[in-house]
Amino acid sequence: ALPTETFYGLAVDPADAAAVARVFAIKGRDATKALLVVAADLDQAAELAVLDGVRRAALAAVWPAPLTVVLPLRRALAAAGGETIAVRVPAHVLLRALLARVGPLTATSANRSGAPPPATAGEVATELGADVDLVLDGGRTPGGAPSTLVDWTGERPLVLRAGTFTLPPSCT
Model pLDDT, residue 133: 95
Mean pLDDT of all residues in 76-81? 91
Percent of the chain residues past pLDDT 70, beyond the cut: 98
Mean pLDDT of all residues in 43-47? 97
Q: Which long-range contacts does 99-102 make (Cβ < 8 Å, 24+ apart)?
A: 99/38, 99/39, 99/40, 99/44, 100/40, 100/41, 100/44
User: For residue 64, is the peptide bond before it cis, meaning its omega torsion is within 30 degrees of 0?
Assistant: yes
Alpha-carbon separation of residue 93 from 37, 112, 162 (angstroms):
16, 26, 23
State the chain's mean pLDDT as an integer: 94
pLDDT reading at 166 higher than 90: no
**Which letter does DSSP use for residue 79 in this model?**
T
Are the C-beta atoms of 125 and 133 separated by less than 8 Å?
A: no
More confident site: 151 or 32? 151
> Tens of pLDDT along 125-154?
999 999 999 999 999 999 888 899 999 999
Mean pLDDT of all residues in 7-32? 95
Are the C-beta atoms of 84 and 76 separated by less than 8 Å?
A: no
Q: What is the pTM of this model?
A: 0.93
